[in-house]
């Protein structure tokens, strides 16, 4: 419990970590692939694109989170796009005047940030449902995660492709450069390798184990209810199988499979039991949600941001 | 008697992967020998480096990926040899090594090893080298320069072009060896070469034998018999194999008319390989082998 509260009260840091490592928009969510393939010919281009996205994401998240309760549900997408487009126009104007070389390198992908999946998904999934400060930190996390990912891809492509890093020659002059890495196929190679490495390191999995949601999930598994569920299985082997399964979802899948294989007489019972189980799960979910709500409220009081807003307005 | 039947297959052919690969290596020997005879010992070193890198890379990758090490089926040797034979004779040795590594790691092992690769590893590596190191892979291309060597020169000794295409006679000798042993048949090579010339005639409108002969290069025959017939990346049914040959003929004709030499063939084979799964899916013909 103490661990849980600690993490929750540190929600800002959690948001940053979530955006950069646990749910990195490029490596984990696989969003924004088109700009990632096109602009990452060098590390600097990658940083430029990442920072432009960060700028737009930050202000869009901020504004949409501020006015989230006044946007009618039916008109929310046009409203989001207008707000995002305003900041994209500002970003484009800044880059065009201050960094014309970068503007040339990024080309059409600056105006296309309007329909960038990362911005749209964060605005729709996070900023529209959460308080301002959290939304801002979420934008920071996601934007920095995207920037770092683009910079890594760009640096590797630049290094192998032309033997430079951030525009400086690092390889001996005799190094010919593998020019395929500056072209589109190289982007696919490098991205595939980075995805694989990210998955291998399982950074997000480690995080999941320490996060509060996962802790509850784990509890569910070891709770007497879950043990009972397992006992319901007809054969001892199947029960063992389920116990070995780390996640509750797969256990459920197994249950379903088993029921379809079971003889006719037993299926009715099974179906009944499954219904009961599902209801139990629903109840648990509701409990969980209530708990989370309460915790959020507590945290809000702690952070003293929620002064202006009446409580319980969070629309899910 | 316990009446249990073992899982299929119940009939096993005595021909296995390593046997077929050894036969292919033997069939490639005449072309290799002529290449070394024509261009000198540095070609031998290039071939040894490329093949050696391919085999060592396959061994190391197998260890790293904790997969069964499969160098004893000689498939890596065939890949390395095909790659070396498709390179120009004055290629730097390290380039052969880079190509061998790329073919094995990226094209073959990352997709699951022998039988799982979606492209011909040697041709994919050849295209990779061509795109990445264009200035280092220069060679004289007879079709490009307009010089047309005599037919006798082409058959026995033709000093321009990549290592493996120097002598058409040597290539045909090896191909005949493969056909007699039943390792390959004439469906894909026949469809490939005939459709290639049909498309050349169609696109240029010229029937002059001299003009057409300038397109009958050793690399075309080499690719038709040794590369397009690769077991892993060819379609399964007979009808689809002929369609595949026609597709390769069309693509190669397009690339040849635009002045590509062996690169055009490599690109055509790769594009054809990517369409093979679709061909297999629509296939209803009977199995060929």
Phi, psi (degrees; rounded to nearest 5) at B105:
-75, -60
Neighbours of A227 (CB within 10 A): 13
The reply to whether omega before B9 is within 30° of 0 (cis) is yes
**Inter-chain contact A176–B136, Cβ cutoff 8 Å?**
yes
Nearest to A178 among B106, B132, B135 (CB): B132
A18: confidence class by pLDDT, cuts 50, 70, 90: confident
User: What per-residue confidence (pLDDT) applies to A236?
Assistant: 45
For residue A49, is pLDDT > 60? yes
Distance in angstroms (rounded) separating the CA atoms of residues A215 and A8: 13
User: What per-residue confidence (pLDDT) applies to A237?
Assistant: 45
In sequence order, what DSSP letters do the residues of A233-254 get, joined into one string? SSSHHHHHHHHH-SSHHHHHHH
Closest-CA residue of chain A to B102? A189
Residue B171 lies in a domain: yes
Closest-CA residue of chain A to B131? A180
CA B95 to chain centre: 18
Higher pLDDT, A12 or A236: A12
Instruction: Tell me what percent of the residues of chain B surpass a pLDDT of 90.
Output: 43
Whether the CB of B197 is below 8 Å from some CB of chain A: the reply is no
Give strand pairing partners of A165: A168
For residue A250, is pLDDT > 50? no
Interface test with B, best of A157, A161, A175, A178 (most B CBs within 10 A): A178
Nearest to B133 among A176, A185, A189 (CB): A176
Give strand pairing partners of B216: none
Whether the CB of B34 is below 8 Å from some CB of chain A: the reply is no
Closest-CA residue of chain B to A185? B128
Neighbours of A278 (CB within 10 A): 11
Which value does ipTM take for this structure?
0.77
Q: What residues of A are in contact with residue B135 (Cβ under 8 Å)?
A: 176
User: What per-residue confidence (pLDDT) applies to A274?
Assistant: 66
User: What per-residue confidence (pLDDT) applies to A212?
Assistant: 52
Higher pLDDT, B81 or A235: B81
What average pLDDT does this structure show over B165-185? 89
Helix (H) or strand (E) run with residue A169 in it: strand A168-169
For residue A53, is pLDDT > 80? yes
What average pLDDT does this structure show over A110-136? 89
Higher pLDDT, B14 or A315: B14
Residue B1 lies in a domain: no
Mean pLDDT, chain A, whole residue set: 74
Instruction: Tell me what percent of the residues of chain A surpass a pLDDT of 70.
Output: 62
A245: confidence class by pLDDT, cuts 50, 70, 90: very low
Residue B242 lies in a domain: yes
Phi, psi (degrees; rounded to nearest 5) at A163:
75, 25
What average pLDDT does this structure show over A165-169? 83
Q: What residues of B are in contact with residue A176 (Cβ under 8 Å)?
A: 133, 135-136
Domain range holding B22? 17-285
User: What per-residue confidence (pLDDT) applies to A238?
Assistant: 43
User: What per-residue confidence (pLDDT) applies to A48?
Assistant: 92
What average pLDDT does this structure show over A18-26? 84
First to last CA, chain B: 35
pLDDT tens digits, one per residue of A208-232: 555 555 444 444 444 444 444 444 4
Higher pLDDT, A288 or A169: A169
Q: What residues of A are in contact with residue B136 (Cβ under 8 Å)?
A: 176
Q: What residues of A are in contact with residue B106 (Cβ under 8 Å)?
A: 189
Closest-CA residue of chain A to B130? A180
Q: What residues of B are in contact with residue A183 (Cβ under 8 Å)?
A: 131
Closest-CA residue of chain B to A189? B106
Q: What residues of B are in contact with residue A162 (Cβ under 8 Å)?
A: none
Residue B22 lies in a domain: yes
Higher pLDDT, B25 or A293: B25
User: What per-residue confidence (pLDDT) applies to A150?
Assistant: 93
Residue B4 lies in a domain: no
CB A143 within 8 Å of CB A22? no
Least confident of A49-53, A94-98, B42-46, B210-214: B210-214
Q: What residues of A are in contact with residue B133 (Cβ under 8 Å)?
A: 176, 178-179
Nearest to B131 among A176, A179, A189 (CB): A179
Higher pLDDT, B179 or B262: B179
What average pLDDT does this structure show over A61-87? 91
Whether the CB of B128 is below 8 Å from some CB of chain A: the reply is yes
Q: What residues of A are in contact with residue B132 (Cβ under 8 Å)?
A: 178-181
Q: Nearest C-alpha of chain B: how many angstroms from A298? A: 49
Q: Nearest C-alpha of chain B: how many angstroms from A84? A: 40
Higher pLDDT, A51 or A248: A51
Residue B2 lies in a domain: no
Question: How many distinct structural domains can be found in chain B?
Answer: 1
What average pLDDT does this structure show over B169-176? 91
User: What per-residue confidence (pLDDT) applies to A179?
Assistant: 85
For residue A312, is pLDDT > 70? no
pLDDT tens digits, one per residue of B22-70: 899 999 999 999 888 888 888 999 999 999 999 999 999 988 888 877 7
**Inter-chain contact B132–A181, Cβ cutoff 8 Å?**
yes
Q: What residues of A are in contact with residue B134 (Cβ under 8 Å)?
A: 179
User: What per-residue confidence (pLDDT) applies to B286?
Assistant: 52
pLDDT tens digits, one per residue of B192-246: 999 999 999 998 887 887 777 778 888 899 999 999 998 888 888 888 899 999 9
Q: Nearest C-alpha of chain A: how many angstroms from B110? A: 10
CB B89 within 8 Å of CB B39? yes
Q: Which of A265-274, B37-46, B154-163 has the highest mean pLDDT?
A: B37-46
Whether the CB of B139 is below 8 Å from some CB of chain A: the reply is no
B3: confidence class by pLDDT, cuts 50, 70, 90: low
The phi-psi region of residue A131 (left if phi > 0; otherwise alpha if psi is between -120 and 50; otherwise beta) is beta
Nearest to A180 among B131, B135, B136 (CB): B131
What average pLDDT does this structure show over A73-94? 92
The alpha carbon torsion through B113, B115, B117, B118 (nearest 10 deg) reads -160
User: What per-residue confidence (pLDDT) applies to A5?
Assistant: 43
Residue B3 lies in a domain: no
**Inter-chain contact B132–A189, Cβ cutoff 8 Å?**
no
Identify which of A236, A215, A238 has the alpha carbon closest to the alpha carbon of residue A292: A215
Residue B8 lies in a domain: no
CATH number at B209 reads 1.10.3430
Nearest to A180 among B128, B135, B136 (CB): B128
What average pLDDT does this structure show over A76-101? 92
User: What per-residue confidence (pLDDT) applies to A232?
Assistant: 43
Distance in angstroms (rounded) separating the CA atoms of residues A3 and A31: 32
Q: Which regions of B115-218 does DSSP assign to beta strands (E)?
A: none
B152: confidence class by pLDDT, cuts 50, 70, 90: low
Interface test with A, best of B102, B118, B132, B137 (most A CBs within 10 A): B132
Identify which of A251, A207, A208 has the alpha carbon closest to the alpha carbon of residue A227: A251
């Amino acid at each position: 419990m103490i661990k849980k509260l600690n993490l929750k009260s540190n929600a800002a840091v959690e948001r940053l970590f979530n955006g950069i490592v646990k749910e990195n928009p490029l490596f984990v969510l696989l969003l924004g692939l088109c700009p990632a393939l096109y602009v990452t010919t060098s590390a600097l281009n990658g940083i430029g694109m990442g920072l432009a996205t960060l700028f737009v994401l930050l202000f869009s998240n901020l504004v949409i989170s501020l006015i989230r309760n006044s946007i009618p549900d039916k008109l929310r997408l046009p409203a989001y796009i207008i707000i995002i487009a305003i900041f994209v126009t500002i970003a484009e104007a800044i880059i065009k005047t201050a960094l014309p070389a970068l503007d040339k390198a990024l080309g059409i992908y600056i105006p296309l940030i309007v329909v960038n999946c990362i911005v749209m998904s964060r605005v729709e999934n996070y900023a529209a449902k959460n308080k301002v400060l959290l939304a801002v930190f979420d934008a920071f996390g996601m934007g920095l995660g995207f920037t770092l990912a683009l910079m890594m891809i760009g640096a590797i492509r630049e290094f192998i492709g032309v033997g430079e890093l951030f525009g400086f020659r690092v390889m001996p002059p005799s190094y010919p450069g593998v020019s395929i890495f500056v072209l589109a196929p190289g982007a696919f190679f490098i991205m595939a390798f980075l995805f694989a490495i990210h998955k291998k390191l399982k950074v997000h999995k480690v995080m999941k184990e320490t996060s509060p949601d996962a802790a509850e999930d784990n509890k569910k598994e070891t709770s007497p209810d879950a043990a009972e569920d397992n006992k319901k299985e007809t054969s001892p082997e199947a029960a063992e199988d389920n116990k070995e399964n780390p996640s509750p979802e797969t256990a459920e899948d197994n249950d379903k499979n088993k029921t379809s294989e079971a003889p006719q007489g037993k299926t009715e019972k099974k179906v009944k039991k499954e219904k009961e189980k599902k209801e139990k799960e629903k109840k648990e979910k509701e409990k969980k949600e209530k708990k989370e709500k309460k915790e959020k409220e507590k945290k809000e009081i702690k952070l003293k941001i929620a002064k202006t807003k009446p409580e319980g307005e969070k629309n899910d | 008697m316990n009446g249990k039947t073992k899982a299929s297959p119940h009939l096993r052919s005595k021909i296995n992967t390593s046997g077929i690969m050894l036969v292919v290596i033997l069939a490639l020997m005449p072309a290799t020998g002529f290449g070394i005879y024509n261009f000198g010992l540095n070609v031998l070193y290039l071939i040894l480096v490329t093949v050696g890198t391919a085999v060592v890379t396959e061994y190391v990758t197998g260890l790293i990926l904790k997969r069964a090490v499969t160098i004893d089926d000689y498939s890596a040797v065939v890949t390395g040899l095909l790659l070396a034979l498709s390179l120009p004779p004055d290629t730097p040795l390290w380039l052969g090594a880079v190509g061998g590594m790329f073919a094995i790691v990226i094209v073959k092992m990352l997709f699951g090893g022998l039988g799982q690769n979606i492209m011909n590893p040697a041709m994919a590596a050849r295209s990779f080298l061509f795109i990445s190191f264009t200035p280092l892979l220069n060679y004289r291309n007879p079709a490009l320069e307009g010089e047309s060597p005599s037919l006798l020169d082409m058959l026995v000794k033709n000093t321009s072009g990549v290592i493996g295409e120097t002598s058409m006679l040597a290539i045909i000798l090896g191909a005949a060896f493969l056909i007699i042993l039943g390792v390959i048949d004439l469906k894909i090579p026949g469809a490939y070469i005939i459709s290639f010339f049909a498309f050349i005639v169609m696109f240029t409108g010229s029937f002059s034998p001299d003009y057409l002969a300038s397109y009958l290069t050793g690399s075309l025959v080499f690719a038709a018999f040794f590369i397009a017939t690769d077991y892993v990346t060819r379609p399964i049914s007979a009808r689809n194999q002929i369609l595949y040959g026609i597709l390769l003929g069309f693509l190669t004709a397009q690339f040849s008319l635009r002045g590509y030499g062996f690169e055009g063939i490599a690109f055509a084979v790769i594009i054809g390989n990517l369409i093979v799964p679709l061909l297999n899916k629509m296939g209803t013909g009977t199995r060929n082998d």
